[in-house]
Chain A
Amino acid sequence: MARKSTNFLIALRFLLSRKRAMLMSLAGIVFGVTFFIVTQAQTSGFEQFFIRTMLGVNGALRVEDRIQQTMRSMEAERGTGFAISMDDSVEYIEGVEHPDELESAVARFREVVSVAQVLRGSAEIKGNFREMFCKPYGINLEQFLGVSDLDEQILYGDLDRFRNNPQGLLVGIKLAQRLQLEVGDPVLLEAAGSNERFRVSGIYETGIEQVDKERVFLHMPAARTLLKKPFGVSYLQVNLLDHERAPEVAERIERVVMHGSMSWQEREKTWLQVFRALRVSSAITVSSIILISGLGMFNTLVMIVMEKTKEIAILRSMGYQQRDVRRIFLWQGFTVLSLGVVLGCILAAGATYAISRLPIRIRGIFSTDSFVVHWSWTHYVAAALIATVIVMVASYFPARRAARLEPGDIIRGTSG
């Protein structure tokens, strides 16, 4: 105990003898850790927000087209009648022919929380003397609320109005703006050669531009009538207990129910890769600040070793072991590191909070009016780990050099 505190005490005094250089190294670590955490909080904040938005719109996975295995037979020898059958490929039959049976089969999976049938089509929407292309989505509202955040996305009007009106319609904000629609306005949907009259029950905003400018929600019976599809649905939208496990669940569902099943990770692969690349590149860029401060730490410790050779020699002559000298220098690195990490984390938390209050209007892949940050302890741990590795490696070499100094040589060298 005494030995540890003595080494630390000596380390502290040595450190304070080069306050300015140490403060520079400390500042480097503080800012490196802060920037690392803040950039991670922002990039993963936007990523998480995108994932949340996208799960709230399209669910964790979709079960859609039926898979049909096609077999090919090859005659082994002409005239013998003996043939080898082999899997050639799979064919996808569009849509779900028996949605109720499929829904009950999918719902039996332990990880599945809720399932909703969706019938999708194309139509022309006419209102206020304007006409636009749209995609009607037939849903059973209560079912669909279990696999989406539609209730939270309503901007104008309300779901009760839609629930109570069989010819009600929910329209995206972009489409509503283009057609100058308001809640209560009548619209005409034209599809498959027929017209159906609906009334706007609500206007929603997902933040995903493609959805907000095309998608309109109808009750399932009305959609069947409009699209002339009395049977079957386009796909089942599924919500899971743990959306991170969607790829594995999708694979199992596909194997069991023989319908193509796609997880959100596969569906949004491109965007997820963009976010990951952003996160990694910002981490690498910001780590260079910590690396530079590590080099500063290295220089400072090397200077201390050079300045303190006599002190090291006298410590060794009075019984301090090589490992004590090594620890004295490692303690110096560790002290600056600990201070840097703690201050960096505190500063990062403050900066992250301040940034989350900064106004910024983003629409396109999600909807937000301020910077989105993701609070995660993993960012703090990662920053601390990177700083620890860099600073301790930077401290190790001067410490080793100090420990290897021969006290006799140094003292002899200073004697007259």
Chain B
Amino acid sequence: MSVGSEASPPAGSRSVLQGKGIHKYLGSGERQVHVLRGVSLDLREGRMVSIVGPSGCGKSTLLYLLGLLDRVDGGEIHLADREMGAAGDYQRTQLRNEHIGFVFQFHFLLAEFTAAENLMLPMRKLARWGEEEMHERAVELLREVGLAEKSERRANQLSGGEQQRVAVARALANEPSVVFADEPTGNLDVKNSSMVFDLLNRLCHERGQAALLVTHNQNLAGRCDEVLTMQDGLFVG
């Protein structure tokens, strides 16, 4: 449910990430734009939230801020019981590795690596598992997205839909608390869009991960647990 600039949390599940009164300005001087005007949001485990709204309303900006890829100009972001609004780059990067998974409009797979190796990249950084275990986990995740048999193929030897499914699996590689998806189906045909969305939706629910989806696709947005509409930097009813 969302009212005004605040999206109120549903009861029951544990809060994973909270954004409170987030402000963001882009540009400088006379061309400065107040993109986010005190937005608050609570993401809870096992729930998929979508944000919809016209281009330039600030939804992707919010996603990048909550994903600790950008810095807020005002407000707070709480992740893993820590306030991350003013945290340094090292800490934010470390938390991204441990707690956040991303799926972008473009898959951003590393072309020089195989599908399994791409999945192992965040795992290698986390250093929680051994080499063999990482590979097993990567193949298992690829099996979940229906690509186990293509685990040793280079990223550029996969189709667009397959690449995006690998990107979904990669976002889940480190068992993050929250997955951010920015137009994850924006570059795919209808069939692949539906497949990727279903995959993301099913895996997040099965694994109890929170997910925030930014999309223009009203149909997909409507299939999320909650839909937030944004306009001019605020959530609107």
What residues make up the interface of A, taking CB atoms closer than 8 Å to B? 2-3, 6, 10, 13-14, 16-17, 310-311, 313-322, 324, 406-408, 411-412, 414-416
Contacts and interface: CB of A to CB of B under 8 A. Distances in A.
A402 to B, nearest CB: 14
Nearest to B94: A319
Interface stretch (B43-51, B102-110, B142-150, B194-202): B102-110
B98 A318 contact: no
Interface in B67-123: 67, 69-70, 89-90, 93-94, 96-98, 102, 104-106, 108, 110-113, 121-122
A414 B121 contact: no
B60 interface: yes
Listed from nearest, the 7 A-B pairs whose CB atoms lie closest are A319-B97, A13-B112, A408-B69, A408-B70, A314-B108, A6-B124, A318-B122
Interface of B: 60-61, 64, 67, 69-70, 89-90, 93-94, 96-98, 102, 104-106, 108, 110-113, 121-122, 124-127, 131, 170, 174, 182-183, 186-187
A412 B59 CA distance: 12
A319 B93 contact: yes
Contact of A314 (B90, B93, B110, B131): B110
A321 B122 CA distance: 12
B121 A6 contact: yes
Contact of B126 (A13, A315, A319): A319
B93 A321 contact: yes
Contacts of A314: 102, 104, 108, 110
Would you call the interface of chain A mostly helix, strand, loop, or mixed? helix
A78 to B, nearest CB: 87
A415 B60 contact: yes
A318 B69 contact: no
Contacts of A13: 110, 112-113
Contact of B102 (A3, A317, A321, A406): A317
Nearest to A323: B90
A315 B174 CA distance: 14
A10 B110 CA distance: 9
Contacts of A319: 93-94, 96-98, 122, 125-126, 174
Contacts of A318: 96-97, 102, 121-122, 125, 170
A322 B89 contact: yes
A90 to B, nearest CB: 71
Contacts of B122: 318-319
A415 B105 contact: yes
Nearest to B95: A319
A409 to B, nearest CB: 8
Contacts of A411: 64, 69, 104, 108, 182
A321 to B, nearest CB: 5
B104 A321 contact: no
Contacts of A315: 110, 121
Contacts of A412: 60-61, 64
B214 to A, nearest CB: 10
A314 B104 CA distance: 10
Contacts of B182: 411, 415
16 contacts: A3-B124, A6-B121, A6-B125, A13-B112, A310-B106, A311-B108, A317-B67, A318-B122, A319-B98, A320-B97, A321-B90, A407-B69, A408-B64, A412-B61, A415-B106, A415-B182
Nearest to A310: B108
Nearest to B97: A319
Nearest to A319: B97
B127 A3 contact: yes
A316 B100 CA distance: 12
Nearest to B113: A13
Contacts of B94: 319, 321
Contacts of B89: 321-322
Contacts of A406: 70
